[in-house]
Amino acid sequence: MVHETFYLSPPSKSSVQKMGTQQRNPKPNSHYQLNPNWTQLQQKLKIHASRPSQKSSNGAEPQTSKTILGKRKERPDAEPDASQRNILIPTNTDSSLTDAVAMDCEMVGVGSEGNKSALGRVTLVNKWGNVIYDEYVRPVEWVVDFRTEISGIRPRDLKKAKDFQTVQRQVAELIKGRLLVGHALRNDLKALLLSHPKVDMRDTSECELFLKEERRRVALRHLAAEFLGVKIQNGEHCPVEDARAAMLLYQRNRKQWEKNIKDQIRLRQKQKKRKQKKKPKRRDASDVNHAATAS
């Protein structure tokens, strides 16, 4: 880079005296003229400032000088890390009634020793995991054991709870004609004193995709950890969380699950036809008597 040096000539004695006179008696429209060297320097500085920043020889952008505010903090990404997001939380707020619903119930202890189970809470979620029904239930019998460490139900929860018959009727209306998803649904339906067509039930405790050796059933918390990568039922159970886990297990394996069900139905139909073919035809009693008389 070529550096240019500008020398300013010192003012003459007469010009100094003239400037002093102008300062004492300034004219209203007087203008001070800058030295031509100053004007040329200002123009060169403006041209240099307007030029875009040049890259260094290695192609990197030149580093700007640090300000007193320091380095600006980087903003976190708008979307959280997928590994940290809880997949059981619904991605929308649609709480409409869908063709498939998941149910989970929590029980309390009744009877003389509290070892008899009675319905204490029932929850239904739609196929997206949004809650469509969640009610505490006041059992017909006196509650002896609230089983809070598992059920999460406390005495205050049942003070304004709905009676059993009301909840039973409402749940029956919601699940009628729909696929019912859950874990060990037989126990939940038994507590509700309800039945549901087996062809419309999707039980994660009985699905062949989740059975272990010797068709051994697996707890829902283990299925959630293995197939969904989430931990549930750590302490008090949450029926909303359990129902969502069951629904997500079904949704993620729905295609293979439904295919297995259709294959089982076809297999049963074939076995039924084979039995009918192997079954000997019974001769009518009249034919037997006629044959005996002829002989």
pLDDT digits over 117-130, tens only?
A: 999 999 999 999 99
- The mean pLDDT value of the chain amounts to 81
pLDDT at position 39: 74
Residue 43: inside a domain: no
pLDDT at position 283: 56
pLDDT at position 86: 86
pLDDT at position 162: 97
Residue 73: inside a domain: no
The SS3 of residue 105 is: strand
What is the number of domains present in the chain? Answer: 1
pLDDT at 154 over 90: yes
In this structure, the number of other CB atoms found within 10 A of the CB of residue 56 comes to 9
pLDDT at 281 over 90: no
Phi first, then psi: give them for residue 160, nearest 5 degrees: -115, 25
- The span from the CA of 43 to the CA of 183, in Å, is 82
Q: Beta strands of 90-239 (E only): which ranges?
A: 100-110, 116-125, 131-138, 143-145, 162-163, 179-182, 201-203
pLDDT at 14 over 80: no
User: pLDDT by residue (tens digit) across 42-70?
Assistant: 777 776 666 655 554 455 555 544 444 44
Residue 158: inside a domain: yes
pLDDT at position 175: 98
Residue 52: inside a domain: no
Q: Which domain holds residue 244?
A: 100-257
Of 11-20, 135-144, 219-228, the least confident: 11-20
Side chain identity at 50, as an amino acid letter? S
pLDDT at 3 over 80: no
Span 122-142, mean pLDDT? 96
Residue 16: inside a domain: no
Residue 147: inside a domain: yes
- Which residues have a Cβ under 8 Å from the Cβ of 237 and sit 6 or more positions away? 106, 150, 151, 152
Residue 188: inside a domain: yes
Residue 225: inside a domain: yes
Alpha helices in the chain (DSSP H): 13-24, 36-50, 148-151, 164-175, 185-192, 220-223, 239-252, 254-278, 285-294
- CATH at 165: 3.30.420.10
- The span from the CA of 200 to the CA of 175, in Å, is 10
In this structure, the number of other CB atoms found within 10 A of the CB of residue 195 comes to 9
Q: How confident is the model at residue 240 (pLDDT cuts 50, 70, 90)?
A: very high
